[in-house]
Amino acid sequence: MNQKLERMKELSALLTEASRAYYQADDEIMSNLEYDRLYDELAQLEKETGTVLAGSPTILVGYEALETLPKERHEAPMLSLDKTKSPEALAEFAGDHVILLSWKLDGLTVVLTYQGGTLVKAVTRGNGEIGEVITNNAKVFQNIPLRIPYQGELVLRGEAIITYPEFQRINEEIDDAEARYKNPRNLCSGSVRQLNNEITAKRHVRFYAFALVKADGVDFQNSRGKQLDWLRSQGFEAVEYRKVTAAQVPETVQWFAEKIQHYEVPSDGLVALYDDIAYGRSLGRTAKFPRDSIAFKWKDETMETCLREIEWSPSRTGLINPVAIFDPVELEGSTVSRASVHNISILRSLKLGIGDRITVYKANMIIPQIAENLTKSDSVEIPGVCPACGGATEIRSTTDAVETLYCTNENCSAKKIKSFALLVSRDALNIEGLSEATLEKFIGHGFIHTFADIFHLAEHRETIVQMEGFGEKSYANLIQSTERARETTLPRLLYGLGIPNIGAANAKLICRSFAYDLDQIRSATAERLAEIEGLGEVIASSVVDYFADADNQRVLDELLLELHVEKPELSGGVQQSLTGKTFVITGSVEQFANRNELKAFIEERGGKVTGSVTKKTNYLINNDTASASTKNKKAKELGIPILSERDFLEMCGAEDHAG
């Protein structure tokens, strides 16, 4: 059964990726025959197992927006668990009985109900007595089976979570640092309780079953472990557990403690539960807690150290966060030397001063935090100027009276993080190792103020190699990448400047039109630029306005001193036979190594390549000229010629192309 479920997951992923490529990117990664064969195999496995996994291509779940989430009372109150931080207490709890030790997941508890093998209801824990009905949202969780083999009424509990990698991905898409989510639990709670389940689907919520409430007619041999194993056989992902005796508790707790260092699922401890169902039920409950289970919270390891510095780290929103730098200590298996203090209010409450003795720990064994200030000298001065730009700072209070520090300079280099990120991006100078997060750190340290400063990072070697996430090797790779970037082309440079409305394709058009002469481009009039096919007045004005700014000219001049801009040989070069022609490329290519090479071939001859078929498109290139793809249909509707590569090369006067 498990092998069949694993194969179903594999098939579902393959078919979903093929559909996405075909319908969204007009790209075929498998033939229709192969797709149909795999689809039939999946459908047969679903029939054999009686299980349909979430996201299966054989079933579509529609998106639906609700005005409110209805509330519903649970049949039995969902109690909290009593807690301990002592492994000895867990062993005492076990006594002479076998217990299950499993993860205590840090998300949102959800109760699922299935009838006749179909998911009919999902309700959040709420306050333990009344929860919110989120059935619509649960149907788009990544791993919940929508149909299962068991045909009776099944009620189970589990935790909806968002993994750390997914949490990081979502936060990286939010420009405003203050708007980012504080932890995966908060993000998950908001995602599960959305009124529009299309938003929920994009958050990639997962569900881990941890308790079976009802499944009449199934013999679980009086074992909670067998209940979890049975849920797995129905297509659910169940929480990982270990079956142990009292004597095995310490080593098993240690096993979980080591695993959590790299565990992608948020967990704030463990749960101990008697495997013997009848015995657990016989114990009853207190007014607050069930007696058949207990939660184990990680005991935070704390270390004493000395505060050496408060680093003030500006962000793109102007917010300046205090970061504590202290003598390195070993915590939970790794060396830490810095911890965010978050805001001015926390800084003041800790009464921090340079040289103070402080204790530090890792919240949930992951995030370094200051636990206590033992000396409380309260001597840290709040800077009056921004470390990135030297502009004036001010303290602002939020609605809940939390005080934060801000840079007031609208032109602060830290606020221009996106412009630096564009300059070093793949289609511009292509400097590897300079992510937005790294740029933000370097700007915060005052290493980078203008574009040219990127090529002087070697001056800050000693500091960089000590920074979190860096070392000698990553530093060396970064410097090598910046040195390689000194050799570039004018289209890459022009695109990297971040001129409004100038993408990589328009940058190439402009450079070709001015014979790759930057001086001519810098002094060009809007009328001259607007004459370039495909540009127009708006884009022309953007270029003129950019170069009319004296600061932009100064920054560019400084950057040019660091670069060698290659100028292509124009005499006897390729004829501009495709000037004024717009192409769209779809499907696989045969005469070229890939689509990008075909695109470069077109642009080298004066043509332009876009991503979608419109009235402005002159030709669609697709080797499968008779396919029923979206782009082929659109081209036929608009009367746009569909060319194979052979047709295209013949039109260009080239019988063949050697890639």
Position 29 scores a pLDDT of 60
Name residue 564's amino acid. Answer: H
Contacts for 202 with CB less than 8 Å, ≥ 6 apart: none
pLDDT above 80 for 384: yes
Give the pLDDT score at 483. Answer: 94
Tokens describing residue 620: 């669609």
Who wins on pLDDT, 395 or 62?
Answer: 395
- Average pLDDT of every residue of the chain: 85
**Residue 571, pLDDT above cutoff 70:** no
Judged against a pLDDT cut of 90, whether residue 211 lies above it is answered with yes
CB 15 within 8 A of CB 60: no
Tokens of 386: 């921004």
> Stretch 167-176: mean pLDDT, rounded?
76
- The predicted structure's pLDDT at residue 225: 95
The residue with tokens 């989120």 is: 134
- Cβ neighbours of residue 515 under 8 Å, at least 6 residues apart? 570
- The mean pLDDT value for 178-205 works out to 81
What is the pLDDT averaged over residues 484-494? Answer: 94
Name the token pair of 292: 């058949």
Is 104 an active-site residue? yes
The pLDDT confidence band at residue 23, using thresholds 50, 70 and 90, is very low
pLDDT for 356-366, tens place per residue? 999 998 765 56
607-617 pLDDT tens trace: 888 878 888 89
Q: By the 8 A CB rule, do 122 and 112 touch?
A: yes
Report whether 262 contacts 322 (CB < 8 A): no
Percentage of the chain beyond pLDDT 90 is 37
Can you tell me the mean pLDDT for 389-414?
A: 83
Q: pLDDT tens digit string along 412-427?
A: 877 778 789 889 998 8
Q: Which pLDDT value is given to residue 68?
A: 64
pLDDT value at position 25? 41
Distance CA 463, CA 447 (A): 10
| CB-facing half-sphere around the CA of 272: CA atoms within 13 A | 30
Candidate list 85, 104, 415, 473, residue with the active-site label: 104
Q: What contacts 352, CB < 8 A, 6 or more positions away?
A: 307, 310, 324, 341, 358, 370, 373, 377, 378, 379, 380
Judged against a pLDDT cut of 90, whether residue 398 lies above it is answered with no
**3-state DSSP call for residue 623?**
coil
For residue 497, the number of C-alpha atoms closer than 13 Å in the C-beta half-sphere is 28
pLDDT score of 625 more than 50: yes
Residue 598 burial (C-beta neighbours within 10 Å; 0-12, 13-18, 19+): buried
Q: What is the mean pLDDT of residues 2-27?
A: 69
- pLDDT band of residue 325 (cuts 50, 70, 90) is very high
Residues 284 and 132: beta-carbon distance below 8 Å: no
pLDDT of residue 506: 84
Please determine, for residue 27, whether its predicted confidence score (pLDDT) is greater than 60: no
The Cα 636–Cα 622 span in angstroms is: 13
Interacting residues of 36 by C-beta distance below 8 A, sequence separation 6+: none
pTM, rounded to two decimals:
0.48
One-letter amino acid at 122 equals: A
What was the pLDDT predicted at 659? Answer: 44
Judged against a pLDDT cut of 70, whether residue 110 lies above it is answered with: yes
pLDDT(333) > 80: no
Residue 655 banded pLDDT, cuts 50, 70, 90: low
DSSP per-residue letters across 19-82: HHHHHHS---SS-HHHHHHHHHHHHHHHHHH--B-TT-TTS-----B-SS--EEE-SS--PPPP
CA distances from 537 to 341, 389, 542 (A): 49, 35, 9
Distance CA 243, CA 255 (A): 13
Average confidence (pLDDT) over 272-298 = 87
Distances in whole angstroms, Cα of residue 465 to Cα of each of 239, 334, 373, 472: 40, 17, 28, 6
More confident residue, 436 or 476: 476
Average pLDDT over residues 234-243: 94
- 246 compared with 70, residue with greater pLDDT: 246
Average pLDDT for 82-105: 90
What's the rounded mean pLDDT across residues 267-288?
A: 88
Reported as a pLDDT band with limits 50, 70 and 90, residue 353 is very high
Cβ burial of 289 (10 Å; 0-12, 13-18, 19+) is middle
- pLDDT attached to residue 195: 79
Q: What span, in angstroms and rounded, lies between the C-alpha atoms of 483 and 486?
A: 5
Positive or negative, the CA dihedral 422, 426, 432, 433 is: positive
For residue 570, pLDDT beyond 60: no
Assess contact for 81 and 47: CB atoms under 8 A: no
For residue 439, which phi and psi values (nearest 5 degrees)? -60, -40
Q: Given this model, what pLDDT does residue 543 score?
A: 93
Q: Of the ranges 183-187, 412-416, 464-468, which one carries the lowest mean pLDDT score?
A: 412-416
